[in-house]
Chains A and B, each alone.
Chain A
Amino acid sequence: MTKESTKVIKEPLKVKKVPSFLVSITAVILGVIAGSILILIIGKNPIVGFERLLFGAFSNKRRIGNTLSMSTQLILMGLSFSFAYKTGLFNIGGSGQMLMGGIVSTILGHYLPSSMPKPVYIMIVVIGAVLIGGLWGLIAGFLKAKFNVHEVVSSIMLNWIAYWLVYDFIPRFVKDQAIAVKSKPLDFSRTLGLEWLRKATGMSTLNLGFLFAIIACVVIWFILEKTTLGYNLKAVGANKYCAEYAGIKIQRSIMISMAIAGALAGLAGLTYYCGYSNLMEMGKMPNEGFDGIAVALLGNCSPIGVFFAAIFFGALKMGKGSLAATGIPTELADTIIATIIYFTATSVIIASFWNKIYKKRYEKKKAKLEGEEKK
């Protein structure tokens, strides 16, 4: 009898709160269900469709390499969005920051002397991409801080300004004589690709960028969790007025946060245009800006969550190429991503659904224990 009661005291019953990854997984499952319904509507077999998706993403070394390489940009763009989001900013300007990072590193790749040793070369392009991306983010942050221009609108305008600048810069600086709408392809030695890595993964596009993305995850985690700067930025995001009262400079925080977010997106531009691909196209807005938002939201804006969400979306995007054989439009993958984000947006409902289940379980347990006690 006494043994029973001590056990009860040792483990006090509590209503469990739903962990955020469970919410994300629920959103993913709902997205997959929505995708299946869509496939059924057009009269195809969903199981075959998803099997092809997995096949396309993971069936051999090269495909796995390509999936990771595709995920590289998504990790960085997801981090970029998350970082600004932690400060309460909605960085929708990732595409533009990425384009600027891409064009600067492409130009650097063509104009830096080819005799330059690779480590030095890579250091220079990384710095170039990070600086220009950071500048592009900083402009939006500056306008928000000083002129109260909403960052969503200003960064969308900056996206299009970057789009047209790239449109102008490609023919001006890195024109390909053969194809008028593309930049001259970079030599393999001038991209982030590594010969041994390419060989080891069966000629995939996996490159040094993946390592950068992992480093960026660690660095961003460190900044957010272990430094005063990160604490200040998060405080501004949580409650602006409270943070101001505590002596944190809001305007400065906004600018720093947008600059770092932009720098990450600029780096993504480098890994995309000088790693995953080796050229830039005129008149093409990269989708990664919006995909990054999706990645960040699914990953709950934490670096580790972003990492796994990016791999998941990268697999979807890489695997969709194999869908063509089944007659299912490849846009299925993007539709699923969009649906997942819609469900993530309504995470309050998903969370309350799980919390209700937890509560029921708790009440059941409690009733059971009380019943035992009465006995």
Chain B
Amino acid sequence: MNGIWDVIKIIIPGAIAYTMPILMGALGGLYSERSGVTNLCIEGLMLFGCFASAATIVKLQALGMNYTLTIVCGICVAMLASMALSYLHALASIKLKADQTISGTAINMLSTALSLFLAQTITGSGNITIVRGIIRNNIPILSKIPVVGPLFFSQTYWTTWLCLIVWGVSYFLLYKTNFGLRLRACGEHPSAVASAGVNVHKMRYIGVLLSGMLSGLGGAVILVTYAGEYNSGAGINGLGFLAIAALIFGQWKPLGILGSTAFFGLFMTIANTGRVIPGIASIPTGFLGLFPYLATLIALILSSKKSRAPLASGQPF
């Protein structure tokens, strides 16, 4: 019994750490797709955020800046950089009426190549490693609660709470405000929204730029929490595409994607920490590695029959 509790104590905080970047990516996708722009470039945007924050943190640290401050700056720069990159996608898919899937793919390729190009120019190698990530903290009082305390409130990254706040604000924004109603309507019946006097293009620009910003945040969170380095070879291991899968699995709804990303986070953690878990330590690394992706595929098979994307997603207006 004690053994299982120890395993759970390893897995749950790990799963939360893995969930947050995917959640941010998926939330970004949500803004974009709900406004009517298919966004396949979450992966590229997250990667670019990861790179931008790594470069910023390393450069600022060399100047001798306070450690926490460099991380905050890194995250802000990542959000701005990814937003700038997402502007290219917005421009292509909204103004230039390009095929959004192709434009997204181009942004992915551009992000991979450009970040590596810049990394080599800045640091001379394809990898940027930061000295250390965020220090984990216990939340006062709450971490003393039995069971819940050690699982959710001990040894947490402050970015986790930031991400959860962003999620909460997004929920409110999308469902309780005029702005949210308009944004969602742009993804369903843009012409109806336009006839009500709302600028559809503007709403879509906002949707895509927000998705860039949040994906950038997600990428930076990957760096400052568990990854600790920008690695051009591995990239972000397809987390951005997992985020898109989570978006579909979560039925394009904030609550749904919170659940689906938690599901992926849990499976990713089991795959990554499989070595220390008694029952599954004997499974070869390769099979553990493919487990989250297989689980995603199965989850998609079970949920896709009734899945319904925003009606106008992918259609230029």
Contact surface of A with B, Cβ cutoff 8 Å: 38, 42, 90, 92, 143, 147-150, 152-154, 156-161, 163-169, 172, 283-284, 290, 293-294, 297, 329, 331-332, 334-335, 337-339, 341-342, 344-349
List 5 tightest A-B contacts by C-beta distance, closest first.
A168-B286, A164-B290, A334-B113, A338-B110, A338-B109
Q: Does B131 contact A (CB under 8 A)?
A: no
Whether B196 is near chain A, meaning CB under 8 Å from some CB there, is no
- B 104-120 contacts with A by CB, 8 A: 105-110, 112-114, 116-117, 120
Please give 11 more A-B residue pairs, beta carbons under 8 A apart, in addition to A335-B114, A342-B88: A92-B105, A150-B248, A153-B300, A164-B289, A331-B114, A331-B117, A334-B116, A342-B107, A344-B106, A345-B98, A345-B105
Q: A233 to chain B: closest CB distance in Å?
A: 19
Contacts of B88 on A, CB cut-off 8 Å?
Answer: 342
Given A168-B285, A346-B96, A297 contacting B108 (CB threshold 8 A): no
Query: How distant is the Cα of A347 from the Cα of B105 in the complex, in angstroms?
Result: 15
- Asked if residues B109 and A290 are in contact (CB atoms below 8 Å), the reply is yes
- Cβ contacts under 8 Å, A348 to chain B: 96-98
Chain A min CB distance to B209 (Å): 17
B102 touches A344 (CB 8 A): yes
Residue ID in chain A nearest B38 by CB atoms: A152
Which residues on the A side are within 8 Å of B138 (C-beta)?
none
**Dominant secondary structure of chain A at its interface with chain B:** helix
Beta-carbon nearest neighbor of B107 in chain A: A342
- Is B2 close to A, CB under 8 A? no
Stretch at the interface among B63-71, B158-166, B291-299: B291-299
A293 contact set on B, CB distance < 8 A: 102, 105
Choice from A148, A161, A172 contacting B297 with Cβ under 8 Å: A161
A164 CB contact (under 8 Å) in B98, B241, B293: B293
Contact A160/B290 with A143-B301, A338-B109, A338-B114 known, Cβ cut-off 8 Å: yes
Which chain B positions have C-beta within 8 A of A338?
106, 109-110, 112-114
Q: What's the least CB distance linking A74 to chain B, in Å?
A: 14
Count residues of chain B with CB under 8 A from any CB of chain A.
46
Minimum CB–CB distance from B300 to chain A (whole Å) comes to 5
Tell whether B178 is near chain A: CB-to-CB under 8 Å.
no
Separation in Å of the A211 CB from the closest CB of chain B? 29
- B106 x A161 contact (CB < 8 A): no
Measured between beta carbons, the chain B residues less than 8 angstroms from A347 are 98
What are some 6 contacts across the A-B interface (CB < 8 A)? A156-B241, A164-B289, A168-B285, A294-B109, A329-B117, A339-B110
Please, which residues of chain A bring their CB within 8 A of the CB of B109? 290, 294, 334, 337-338, 341
- CB < 8 Å: which of A147, A152, A294 contacts B304? A147
Nearest Cβ in chain B — how far from A23, in angstroms?
13
A159–B237 Cα distance when bound, in Å, is 11
Q: Which residues does chain A contribute within 8 Å of B116, judged by CB atoms?
A: 329, 331, 334
Q: Which residues of B contact A147 (CB under 8 A)?
A: 300-301, 304-305
Residues of A within 8 A of B155 (CB): none
Q: Any chain A CB within 8 A of the CB of B245?
A: yes
Q: Which residues in window 257-277 of B have CB below 8 A to A?
A: none
Chain A residues whose CB sits within 8 angstroms of the CB of B284 once the complex forms:
168, 172
B221, chain A: closest CB distance, angstroms = 21
Q: Is B244 an interface residue (CB 8 A)?
A: yes
Taking the closest CB of chain A, its distance from the CB of B295, in whole angstroms, is 9
B241 and A345 contacting across the interface, CB-CB below 8 Å:
no
Considering the chains assembled together, what is the distance between the CA atoms of A101 and B233 in angstroms? 22
Chain B minimum-CB-distance residue to A296: B102
The residue on B at minimum CB distance from A336 is B113
